Amino acid sequence: MLTKSAVPDAKTPRTERGRRTLRKLFDAAAEEFGEKGFHEASVSSITRRAGVALGSFYTYFDSKEALFRALVQDMSERVKLVAIQGVEKIETKGNATSVDKEVAAFSSFLDFAREFAEIYQIIDESKFVAPDCYRKHYETTATRIFERLCKGIERGDLREGLSEGHAWAMMGMAVFLGLRYAVWARDGDRIDMIPDLTRDILQHGIARPLPEDIRRR
Amino acid sequence: MLTKSAVPDAKTPRTERGRRTLRKLFDAAAEEFGEKGFHEASVSSITRRAGVALGSFYTYFDSKEALFRALVQDMSERVKLVAIQGVEKIETKGNATSVDKEVAAFSSFLDFAREFAEIYQIIDESKFVAPDCYRKHYETTATRIFERLCKGIERGDLREGLSEGHAWAMMGMAVFLGLRYAVWARDGDRIDMIPDLTRDILQHGIARPLPEDIRRR
Amino acid sequence: MLTKSAVPDAKTPRTERGRRTLRKLFDAAAEEFGEKGFHEASVSSITRRAGVALGSFYTYFDSKEALFRALVQDMSERVKLVAIQGVEKIETKGNATSVDKEVAAFSSFLDFAREFAEIYQIIDESKFVAPDCYRKHYETTATRIFERLCKGIERGDLREGLSEGHAWAMMGMAVFLGLRYAVWARDGDRIDMIPDLTRDILQHGIARPLPEDIRRR
Amino acid sequence: MLTKSAVPDAKTPRTERGRRTLRKLFDAAAEEFGEKGFHEASVSSITRRAGVALGSFYTYFDSKEALFRALVQDMSERVKLVAIQGVEKIETKGNATSVDKEVAAFSSFLDFAREFAEIYQIIDESKFVAPDCYRKHYETTATRIFERLCKGIERGDLREGLSEGHAWAMMGMAVFLGLRYAVWARDGDRIDMIPDLTRDILQHGIARPLPEDIRRR
DNA sequence: CATGAATGAGAGTTCATTCAT
DNA sequence: TATGAATGAACTCTCATTCAT
């Protein structure tokens, strides 16, 4: 389950057995942090879950926080990959507009958040446990979105004047729709409509176009 | 600094002296939680900051968490009032469109978040400390936004078909723009442009209107 | 419910209102200590039960322990009176043997312990809270029993050679039968047989009399 | 000092070092509780006495109360063994009557109570700290005495009609004589006479046998 | 490398008592 | 005298981390 990305907060095991133990700890921690949150989770219950001795924890991680950071970075990387794959997939189909691509990125994220709702919360909790990780995650993500927006402007299917702020706004939409429809999903929610909803907003905003709007252009 | 709203997690003092003590504790806690977060904050350092004895804390609150919950509810109430006042203010000027009102609500929120950036974090941390408070805050807020959207549809200046999901999306935009431009403000940010940015998105989305769009209506 | 006995651990109120408050505190404390024991009982819950303010407690008692001591002494006095009345009652009927009197004293104690099972426990707890009160209670009681035994010897219906130790043994019997059949009474217990059981032991012990026993006298 | 009996309130150590630590805690706690009683004893002073770190306490016991319970059960077991050994010892000599055996059990108990006077108090305090342990101890003990009485009746040297109540009465005698002559021993007490005193009571009760008594049989 | 006992700083909380009103 | 807010010492318990085996 670990991504290949460098996770500097974990020590690199040299043996195969070591790699297995590290993996077990990582997975156990993801579950534990996801279920209980950072502060309620305890090192001993992580090791118990992983089926290794308490002391072994410190063979692989310098501290509880170091493991958490490693997890956040791993999650961040995976969220990034998921979104990129979502975009690439639609690009291969050809004819995709920039809005299509953003919707695809968003949909992939939403699917991911639904599948790993609890674990996903780890990223949010990093705001209070490892703020630098949190900030880095969202800044990186915003930058990536903004770069796509810039390309869209170049291609001509996005409006001029889109700025980094637009990227943050879009990211906020995605996160809160994810919160509402992935983490807090209710029976009866029409989750399949959410991507269209996003597309709508990106395409037209929420206002009814006024006659002047039409005439203006 | 306390709002009048019922804060059932705090015991009501009957004397003037008691009210002063409660207020001091509340203010000290807001600072302490804002600076350090829930888990790093300690009851004894809150009482030290407030200039009262440790035991006095428990005259007014059942636990550290109860105080935190009371604070979250108080913050939530204040954020709500701020947004409502923002809307009301623009309504009195007359001629305000629904988008104007949303931008006004958003701007007021942003101003508030900037002024109380640290304290505002308390609401976000409640996601992990008092999840029910957190959820209630955002569900209530989304409902309020959605009600405004419905009125806008009735008035005719918002598109048909706006749903609760649109409210969540707008809330997400506001929160993330608040995070970026209030909490993580950088020198050189053109914060005064943010309301316009929001207006843009709400008015037109991000896509360049296509010819078909025009013809369609 | 207070006996007239000097209870030096309680301050003497001068007004009628004061006497009423003292009484309320005393009764509330008896219930509270009886239900919860000394350490689980709290001054504030005693005052709450009594319907007076917390601070008023210290108008009447120097400390929680002082109240407890006063209660123990009061209980001790009442137990003593109960036993004495039991004896006196049977004496007025005439023809009562010394064993009859001891059984009467015991029966009265048992009735009392059954009626005030919980409150009675206060005396036992004093072993750990106010050991001097506890010791005084049992030493006094033993002495009283021993004095009755001496009279019985003089009258000729008790064996020569009975000592203080016999009094302690009898007291132990009474207390443990009280524990078993008053405090820990079970459905199906034939409590009415207990006095006869005591009489049996006092009269003959538990051994089957041997032929030598008979011949010896 | 630990008996082999299962003491489920203590975690079982797996290493020799662990066993030593547990033993030290147990012994220190027995002293501490014996001297100060449950509520005055503190976990930190127990660990200090044991020469281990505070935290080590919780490696072996869930709480202060759990240790206390373990101690009570251990004491209870030891008191039981002591009495049984007293009886067995006299049985090997042959010719012992049932009364001899009861006196032997009692004497052994008294010796034990004298040697561990303070520690023995722990069982009594359990009435208020771990009532179920207390009750179990005395109910078990009474049952054991009653079983011996039944055997004596079968053998023919104890009177018919002895019941559980007689066992409780005898237990009470033992406990109160133990209290008076072991815990509260005074200079000048003829402690060596106490077993004979008990034998007297068990053999004949306290009454002077009446002529009718003789004729009756 | 693995183990799990040992460590001890530090936390939240209680509550008998005091005292200003 | 009655009130109840204020006090702060003292307590039990947790748990990340260390370390001897």
Chain D touched by C155 (CB under 8 Å): no
Residues B209 and A158: beta-carbon distance below 8 Å = no
* Cβ atoms within 10 Å of B39's Cβ, excluding its own: 15
CATH of D65-203, one of 1.10.357.10, 3.40.718.10, 1.10.340.70, 3.30.420.10: 1.10.357.10
* pLDDT at A210 > cutoff 70: no
Give pLDDT tens digits for B1-42. Answer: 444 444 557 788 888 888 899 999 999 999 999 999 999 999
Cα–Cα nearest to C174, from C116, C107, C114: C107
Angle between helices C117-129 and C16-36 (to 10 degrees): 80
CA–CA distance, B189 with A165 (Å, rounded to integer): 10
Tell me the longest C-alpha to C-alpha distance in chain B. Answer: 72
Q: Does C194 touch chain D (CB under 8 A)?
A: yes
Per-residue pLDDT, A1: 46
Q: How far apart are CA C110 and CA D128, in angstroms?
A: 21
Which residue, C16, C154, C3, is CA-closest to C73?
C3
Q: Which of residues 82-101 of A touch strand E (CB under 7 A)?
A: none
Q: For residues B38 and B69, give the distance between their C-alpha atoms in angstroms, rounded to a whole number.
A: 11
Query: Under a CB-based contact definition with an 8 Å cutoff, are residues B138 and B130 in contact?
Result: no
Lowest mean pLDDT among A176-190, B107-121, B150-164, B197-211: B197-211
Q: Which of D208, D214, D215 to mutate to test the interface with C (most CBs of C within 10 A)?
A: D208
Both tokens of residue D159?
């009177």
Stretch C93-113: mean pLDDT: 94
Chain D hits for C169, Cβ within 8 Å: 173, 176-177, 197-198, 201
pLDDT band at A129 (very low <50, low <70, confident <90, very high): very high
pLDDT for res A171: 97
Burial class (CB in 10 A: 0-12, 13-18, 19+), B4: exposed
Q: Does the pLDDT of residue C216 top 60, yes or no?
A: no
Q: What share of chain B is helix, strand, coil (3-state, %, to 5)?
A: 75, 0, 20
Rounded to the nearest integer, the mean pLDDT of chain B is 90
Among B119, B142, B107, CA closest to B1:
B119
A52 touches strand E (CB under 7 A): yes
Contact indicator for B205, A209 with CB cutoff of 8 Å: no
Quote the CA–CA distance of A129 and D157 in Å, as a whole number.
78
Q: Who among B165, B180, B201 is closest to A205 (CB)?
A: B201
Give the predicted TM-score (pTM) of the model.
Answer: 0.89
DSSP secondary structure string, C47-82?
Answer: HHHHTS-GGGHHHHBSSHHHHHHHHHHHHHHHHHHH
**How far is residue A39 from each of residues A16, A22, A33, B38, measured CA to CA in Å?**
31, 21, 8, 10
Mean of all residue pLDDT scores within chain A: 89
Arithmetic mean of pLDDT, C125-146: 96
Alpha helices in A63-205 (DSSP H): 64-92, 98-115, 117-129, 131-155, 164-178, 194-204
Confidence of residue C210 (pLDDT cuts 50, 70, 90): low
Query: How far apart, in Å, are the Cα atoms of D108 and each of A78, D48, D80, D116?
Result: 74, 33, 10, 12
Q: What is the DSSP letter of B157?
A: S
Rounded to whole angstroms, the Cα distance separating A51 from A24 reads 8
Token pair 């001029």 in the structure block, residue: A160
pLDDT score at C107: 96
Q: Which nucleotides of F are covered by protein (CB under 7 A)?
A: 1-21
The residue of chain C nearest to residue D154, with distances taken between CA atoms, is C208
Note whether A110 and A182 are within 8 A (CB).
yes
In sequence order, what are the beta bridge partners of B61?
Answer: B10
Q: Which of C109, C96, C102, C88 lies closest to C201, judged by CA?
A: C102
Distance from C-alpha of C204 to C-alpha of C213, rounded to nearest angstrom = 11
pLDDT in tens, B36-89: 999 999 999 999 999 999 999 999 999 999 999 999 999 999 999 999 999 999
User: Looking at chain D, which runs of residues are DSSP E strands?
Assistant: none
**Whether pLDDT at B215 is above 80:** no
Query: Which residues are paired to B207 by β-bridges?
Result: A158
Provide the CA C44 to C1' E15 distance, Å, integer.
9
Question: What's the rounded Cα separation, in Å, for the pair B152 and B101?
Answer: 10
Instruction: State how far the Cα of B17 lies from the Cα of B20, in Å rounded to an integer.
Output: 5
The rounded distance, in Å, linking the Cα atoms of D160 and D163 is 9
Q: What is the mean pLDDT of residues D60-70?
A: 96
The proportion of chain A whose per-residue pLDDT surpasses 90, expressed as a percent, equals 77
Inform me whether the pLDDT recorded for A119 exceeds 50.
yes
Contact list, B201 vs chain A (CB under 8 Å): 166, 169, 201, 205
pLDDT score of C19 more than 90: no
Say which nucleotide is closest to residue A45, CA to C1' distance. Answer: F15
Quote the mean pLDDT of chain C.
Answer: 90
- Average pLDDT value for residue range C48-55: 96
Of B133-142, C10-19, C116-125, D38-47, least confident by mean pLDDT is: C10-19
